Amino acid sequence: MNLEIVVVLTVVLIILVCLITEIAKLAFIVFCALAVLILTGILTPSDALKGFSNEGMLTVALLFIVAGAVQQSGVLIISRALGSGNNLKRSLFQMMLPISAMSAFFK
């Protein structure tokens, strides 16, 4: 086995253990793993940052930001409209009316 393979597999196993045990936040764990791979020379900085130029990844990242902002602002009143959620049939009926009305305008 090549030394690079051993390093990558070790980093992956450490990431898995850290994620399972929740030692730190996800972003910190992934950033540290990326830093280790760059510092060992397995990845070049341009290769490490190449994924950020992907348009699909940027779209998903922006959607997370928008969803967090909407959740913090309290614009969504769905939780109040659905009630406590203890009664499944009631919650489904309360969602059915607005969704069926909105589906008339979406393809």
Going from N- to C-terminal start, the domains of the chain cover: 1-43
Structure tokens at 58: 């940027």
Measured CA to CA, the distance from residue 45 to residue 68 in angstroms comes to: 30
- 15 with 9: CB under 8 angstroms? no
Collapse the DSSP code of 85 into the 3-class scheme (helix H, G, I; strand E, B; otherwise coil) and give the result: coil
The set of residues, in sequence order, having a beta carbon less than 8 Å from that of 58 and lying 6+ positions away, is: 52
- What's the pTM? 0.55
In order along its 107 residues, the chain shows pLDDT tens digits of 798 999 999 999 999 999 999 898 988 999 999 999 999 999 998 888 887 788 888 888 888 888 888 777 766 666 565 566 677 787 788 778 778 888 888 76
What is the rounded distance in angstroms from the CA atom of residue 18 to the CA atom of residue 24? 7
